[in-house]
Amino acid sequence: MTLWLSVLVDMLQVSIPGNYDIGQILDTAWETLHFSDEFHDEGSAILLITHPWIEEPDSVVSIASEEECMLIPPISFSAGWETHRVVCKEQDQLRNLMDRVGARGSAELISQRKRELADLVRDVHVVPTHFIEGLTPKQVDVLVSSYEHGLYDIPSRTKMERVAQRTGLSRSTFGEHLQKGELQIMRNLYPILKVRSHQEGTGRRGGA
């Protein structure tokens, strides 16, 4: 299960094993959460939970909510621009969103394409924001150096000893930082990979 929070809308994604009844799960979720909208396929469901009692200042988030469009997190901010991934059920919803945002400032549609529901549900997991959470500066430096000097290439373009020398570390110290950094990234990615493996039908249930 993955949860993204915003001021007006919470988005909850639930992985649904093949032996569960999706309809029953959605009925139970409705009784408990009273979600405003849902998207689902055979292996996963996205539930949108709105907070109508919260007054949101005029923004892309509030306009998207009024037009019943779904914003896929994260939202990025750079050089005065906000970049949003938007999913609309109808073309008119997207057109209205662009018109209303454009009336308040500059708005640009970078790309547009039709998406199958299964692709939408699956690709939500492409937007995690915590890949490097918990890494030390030294681990980041070692990982970057390893990649830039070809240690991860197949076949490898260099040896660990050479990359370690460039960073001023012994091979053993370099290897320790590298292994701990890789482990931390794997820990950060594991929940997403676990859900993806079940969506692709490759995950194992139960014990090891």
Q: What global pTM score does this model have?
A: 0.41
How would DSSP label each residue in 67-92?
TTPEEEEEEEEETTEEEEEEE-SSHH
**105-144 per-position pLDDT tens digit:** 889 888 787 765 545 555 554 444 457 778 899 999 999 9
Residue 53: its pLDDT value, please?
Answer: 53
Residue 191: its pLDDT value, please?
Answer: 67
Query: Which strands form 9-15's sheet, in the order they lie side by side?
Result: 2-5, 9-15, 44-50, 37-40
Length of the chain: 208
Residue 127: its pLDDT value, please?
Answer: 43
In contact, 98 and 109? CB cutoff 8 Å: yes
Cα separation, 132 vs 118, whole angstroms = 28
Helix (H) or strand (E) holding 29: helix 22-33
Which residues in the chain land under pLDDT 50? 118, 125-129, 202-208
Residue 54: its pLDDT value, please?
Answer: 53
Three-state SS across 124-180? HHHCCCCCCCCCCHHHHHHHHHHHHCCCCCCCCCCCHHHHHHHHCCCHHHHHHHHHH
* Domain residue ranges in the chain: 2-126, 137-199
- Taking 3-state DSSP, the helix, strand and coil percentages for the chain, each rounded to the nearest 5, stand at 45, 20, 40
- Token pair of 83 as six digits: 């970049």
Helix (H) or strand (E) holding 2: strand 2-5
Helix (H) or strand (E) holding 50: strand 44-50
